[in-house]
Amino acid sequence: MSARKMIRHGEPASARRGEREASGMTPTRLGGLALMLSFALSVAGGLLHPVIEGEAHSLSSLARPEFPIAHFLVFLGGACLLFGLPALYARIALTTGILGLAGFTMYFLANATLVISFTGYDTFVAPVLAADPATSSLVAPGGAISGSTPFAVLEGVGGPVFMLGLLLLGVAVFHSRVLPRWSGMLMAAAPVLLLLPVPETPVLTGLLIELPRGLAVAAIGYALFTRRREKTSAASLPTGPEPVRPGVPAA
């Protein structure tokens, strides 16, 4: 048996398993990567979103070629967020109880219904309706569908659920002490920033909507993505002299 094999044979199984997990993509690390990608896509969409004469969803804004591209980027960012949120919750579940579960459930469902449906509509449907004079009247101010009661109910219920879920999840992250606490504070503050009466302007509006919560999500994603590798590195540090095994002379 070679010296390398003898060393590997003498290593604890947990250390070898940790090394394999560090070099591969575990569900936790994939979730963290998805959260970081969500931030990049959503912020890019927010920066690209057109605002014409103070209106982000006017017919003039919808007619801009970058409008569907911006919403498609946010749509993809929302999909990545849904993929990564379970990894976030799994990390804090044991230390946050009902608070973490409520925040995760509300924020996840609001994104899965409100955000995905609205960005999908703004990507694939609204620009087509706005471009045709025969159907442009179906697009109401704000980008909603005129006379659509289910759409109005979804917006009226989903909006508060989205903001409350984001607030509760941020508080849960802050109290969990297993993820960056500042990211929880920023996540909890993001809904308040959405309520500020700031006029719609290019770039600024997109940043105000996407940057605070996106930056918090990206920081959490980075912590999830790097955690295993840091844990493995810490486990590899010497903790004292190795015990003498039978049949092996002490150094």
Task: Give the pLDDT confidence score for residue 181 in this predicted structure.
Answer: 95
For residue 239, is pLDDT > 90? no
- Angle 88-220-102 (CA atoms, 0-180°, nearest 5)? 40
Length of the chain: 251
Task: Give the pLDDT confidence score for residue 138 in this predicted structure.
Answer: 78
For residue 87, is pLDDT > 60? yes
For residue 234, is pLDDT > 80? no
Residue in 85, 83, 84, 158 with CA at minimum distance from that of residue 119? 158
For residue 230, is pLDDT > 60? no
Task: Give the pLDDT confidence score for residue 250 in this predicted structure.
Answer: 52
Alpha-carbon distances, residue 24 vs 30, 124, 236 (angstroms)? 10, 37, 18
For residue 21, is pLDDT > 80? no
Kindly report, residue by residue over 132-185, the tens digit of the pLDDT.
Answer: 888 887 776 665 565 677 878 888 899 999 999 999 999 999 999 999 999 999
SS (H, E, C) the chain: CCHHHHHHHHCCHHHHHHHHHHHCCCHHHHHHHHHHHHHHHHHHHHHHCCCECCECCCHHHHCCCHHHHHHHHHHHHHHHHHHHHHHHHHHHHHHHHHHHHHHHHHHHHHHHHHHHHHHHHHHHCHHHHHHCCCCHHHECCCCCECCCHHHHHHHHHHHHHHHHHHHHHHHHHHHHCCCCHHHHHHHHHHHHHHCCCCCCCCCHHHHHHHHHHHHHHHHHHHHHHHHHHHHHHHHCCCCCCCCCCCCCCCC
Kindly report, residue by residue over 191-208, the tens digit of the pLDDT.
Answer: 998 888 888 889 998 999
Which residue would you say has higher pLDDT here, 89 or 9? Answer: 89
Task: Give the pLDDT confidence score for residue 144 in this predicted structure.
Answer: 59
Averaged pLDDT for residues 19-48: 87
Work out the mean pLDDT of the chain and round it to a whole number. Answer: 83
With beta carbons less than 8 A apart as the criterion, state whether 165 and 103 touch.
yes
Q: How confident is the model at residue 109 (pLDDT cuts 50, 70, 90)?
A: very high
Kindly report, residue by residue over 49-65, the tens digit of the pLDDT.
Answer: 999 888 888 888 888 99
Which residue would you say has higher pLDDT here, 70 or 8? Answer: 70
Residue in 173, 159, 213 with CA at minimum distance from that of residue 189? 213
In the chain, % of residues over pLDDT 70: 78
Q: How confident is the model at residue 232 (pLDDT cuts 50, 70, 90)?
A: very low
Task: Give the pLDDT confidence score for residue 142 in this predicted structure.
Answer: 62
Averaged pLDDT for residues 16-27: 62
Per-domain residue ranges for the chain? 26-230
For residue 229, is pLDDT > 60? no
Task: Give the pLDDT confidence score for residue 246 in this predicted structure.
Answer: 56
